[in-house]
Amino acid sequence: MSKKNIKFFRFQRFIFSVTDFDSKYFSEIEKYFPKQNNVKPSFKFEILKSNSKFQIDSPKVHSTPNLDYYRENDSFYIVFKRDGSFCEIKSDECKFYVEEFLCERTDVFFDWMFEIALVEVLRKNGYYFLHAGCVAKNDFCVVIPGASGNGKTTLSYLLSQNGFKLVSDDRIFFEEESNFCFAFPTPVKLTEESQRLLNLNLNEEVSYQGKALVSKNTFETTEKAIPKIFVFPKIIKGKSSLSKLEKSEAFSKLLSLSLTLSDFRAVKSQLSKMQSILNDCQCFELNFGQDFEEIPRIFENLLEN
């Protein structure tokens, strides 16, 4: 493969190279990650056009509606169920075997393969993933963990329109070497239900998942902040209310949202980091009602206190 098909990108202090069989995936990756000069990368990605079917004797270690995860020896595999495309992650490289559907849909490829594979790779390099929204004020932030449908994107977007800086609506990382949390640089994705709740009529590009993609250029953002509060939301129909959450229970809730799947050696250090962060924070549960005018005040009081 010619050298012109290789580019280098950066996420925080992490440098990765991407080798693309016809360069069309580069434009999708460049939407999110700054390009880097030709340097020795921490990790290598290679995108290969292939009709090879995924075959492995080892059982699945995890499954979602769209992806299956496998582990065999020193390799970790993620399989895209829709067409059988898959990637193989090793200690210092990841190879994507892309079939026809993902060859045509670079946006789908980025969402379901590259983004998820990069999360696994970053864990190996001291960045611990958490499925959470995050908003900040005066260098401190509120972390809003939750699985899909718990209201974290709706809540993060609402607060970003009412005096808070958006760190992320869905994915953040905690760095092993610091107390900061960092945003994963992707656009906000609002479902039709979120748009209805927020009374929005967005004329934005709509992804294949039926979510409006909202550029972070439309509101104030920050790349990193220091966690001070964890708020676990749950959407309800009544009025919003806040209650204190024991740190042990908060830690238990975080396990399913942050635990590494591929590198079992990273589990101990990841859990230790999450415990250390929680020890320095307060934790709450939020019944997230539709009295949206009250929500910013609740969060402002949390950070002030």
Write the DSSP assignment of 75-86 as a string of letters. EEEEEETTT--E
Single-letter residue type at 82: R
Q: In the prediction, which pLDDT does 117 show?
A: 87
Please give the share of the chain, as a percent, with pLDDT higher than 90: 31
Question: How many CA atoms does the CB half-sphere of 219 hold within 13 Å?
Answer: 19
Average pLDDT on 86-93 reads 90
- Token output for 62: 């995890």
pLDDT band at 208 (very low <50, low <70, confident <90, very high): very low
171-175 vs 212-214, strand pairing mode: unpaired
* Lowest mean pLDDT across 2-6, 111-115, 149-153, 170-174: 2-6
> What letter represents residue 160's amino acid?
S
In this predicted structure, the answer to whether residue 159 has a pLDDT above a threshold of 90 is yes
* pLDDT the model gives residue 1: 39
Q: Which domains does the chain have, with CATH numbers?
A: 3-125 (no CATH), 128-304 (3.40.50)
Judge whether 233 and 151 are in contact, CB under 8 Å.
yes
Q: Report the pLDDT value the prediction gives residue 262, as an integer from 0 to 100.
A: 54
- Label residue 2 by pLDDT band (50, 70, 90): very low
Burial degree of 73 (CB within 10 A; 0-12, 13-18, 19+): exposed
Residue written as tokens 């004797």?
Answer: 57
Provide the pairing of β-strand 86-89 with 93-98: antiparallel
pLDDT at 212: 62
Round to whole Å and give the CA distance between 116 and 112: 6
What was the pLDDT predicted at 191? 80
Q: Nearest-CA neighbor of 112 among 80, 139, 73, 89? A: 80
Given a cut of 70, whether residue 222 has pLDDT beyond it is yes
Q: Are strands 67-72 and 43-49 parallel, antiparallel or unpaired?
A: unpaired
Condensed to tens digits (0 to 9), the pLDDT of residues 60-79 reads 888 888 889 898 888 889 99
Residue 243: the pLDDT is 95
* Per-chain mean pLDDT for the chain: 85
Q: How far separated are the first and last CA of the chain, in Å rounded?
A: 57
Query: What six digits make up the tokens of 149?
Result: 């449908």
Residue 40: CB atoms within 10 Å: 7
Q: Residue 189 has what pLDDT?
A: 80
Q: Is the model's pLDDT at 134 over the cut of 60?
A: yes
d(CA 265, CA 1): 34
The Cα 216–Cα 221 span in angstroms is: 7
